[in-house]
Amino acid sequence: MKLDLRTEDMKAANAKKLYVAGEIDAYTAPQLKEALSQLTSRDQGITVVDLEGVDYIDSTGLGIFVGALKDTHSHEGQFKIVSLNSRVKRLFSITGLDEVMDIDEKEGANQ
């Protein structure tokens, strides 16, 4: 199982986008957590996570996103997840995370 991560600066000030591809599970979660913590710990930072290349997320991965959201809020930032496929979007819906997170199935991230 492999996880590819790439960070990119966005046009908006203090905004970063993390592209994620692969499977997010107990094995790859620490790698994702490290990448996200570097982005979500910025004061008033905007973090956009693009999950277009993700086909699978387990409960460990969902927990990483909850932690990233909390970290972002503690630094008065914004956290958004974009480009989910229907399978991944369903996971966020089933768990109710789509009610507490800014999630957009399409891009629409104000670049």
- Domain of 8, CATH number, reads 3.30.750.24
How many independent structural domains does the chain possess? 1
Mean residue pLDDT across the chain: 92
* 42 lies in some domain: yes
Asked if residue 111 is part of any domain, the answer here is no
Identify whether 97 is part of a domain. Answer: yes
Instruction: Supply the pLDDT for residue 68.
Output: 97
**Mean pLDDT within 31-51:** 95
pLDDT of residue 12: 81
Query: Quick one: average pLDDT of 7-29?
Result: 93
- What is the band of 111 on the pLDDT scale with cuts at 50, 70, 90? very low
109 domain-assigned: no
Domain that holds residue 85: 3-104
> How far, CA to CA in Å, does 41 sit from each of 34, 36, 103?
11, 8, 20
Backbone angles phi, psi at 107, to 5 degrees: -60, -80
Give 3-state DSSP helix, strand, coil % of the chain, rounded to 5: 35, 35, 30
Question: How many residues are present in the chain?
Answer: 111
* DSSP per-residue letters across 78-106: EEEEE---HHHHHHHHHHTGGGTSEEESS
Please, which residues have CB within 8 angstroms of residue 23's CB and are 6 or more apart in sequence?
1, 2, 3, 54, 55, 56, 57
pLDDT band at 11 (very low <50, low <70, confident <90, very high): confident
pLDDT score for 107: 62
